[in-house]
Structure 1
């Protein structure tokens, strides 16, 4: 599956209706963004079970602001509608492949329950 362009109108629906979604926030004038694009595209071709979306921060300024994008490229990964990774910077191919495998293996419900329990113990 190749990458899809995400907009303010399609972003939330895409995140909520797919198991795993990787989102690349980029701009055409950004050198590191252009360098990362082939890596992101190649990963999309080899992971048909994952949705790869791109957000052009120039065309989608409100969406970029809502996502608190301060630096590009920024990669966000969602699993079952939950943000599980958010980092600025271009990843090399091996790191992106490793991240995708880790997200596939992640039990997001367990992780959320553990985080909630840890927060509750801190609040006591």
Structure 2
């Protein structure tokens, strides 16, 4: 499965009500480090059917970025049962992103 585009309209259904852990990637198309993380996040989405992966474009969804207090992108958040259980800022290698999900 590929990453899901998350916006304020589907946020509750896809993230808050998810029965799987959710990896959220806050990004923007103009952000160089974000472009480095995109293939890693997509690969994680394809290889891990037990995890839901969502991408949030901070330019299109400023309310969600504000709700998560995103000050720097890329920012990655792991959500379980509607709660943030892990987070990181900046480009991360795949191994480190996967470690956040444990």
> TM-score normalised by the shorter chain: which range applies?
over 0.9
Greater Rg over alpha carbons, structure: 1
TM normalised by structure 2 equals: 0.92
Q: Identify which of structures 1 and 2 has the higher relative contact order when contacts are C-alpha pairs closer than 8 Å and 6+ apart.
A: 2
| Cα pair 2:78 2:100 within 8 Å, conserved | no
> What residue in structure 2 maps to residue 16 of structure 1?
16
Structure-2 separation of matches of 1:10 and 1:90: 26
> What residue in structure 2 maps to residue 58 of structure 1?
59
Q: Which runs of 5+ in 1 are unaligned?
A: 103-124
TM normalised by structure 1 equals: 0.77
> What residue in structure 2 maps to residue 71 of structure 1?
72
Deviations 1:65-118 (A, max 9, x none): 122110000001001211101221111011122222x1xxxxxxxxxxxxxxxx
Q: Which runs of 5+ in 2 are unaligned?
A: none
Counting helix residues as a fraction of each chain, which structure ranks higher? 1
Which ranges of 4 or more aligned residues in structure 1 deviate by more than 6 Å?
Answer: none
RMSD: 1.1
How many residues in Structure 1 have an aligned counterpart in Structure 2? 101
> What residue in structure 2 maps to residue 115 of structure 1?
none
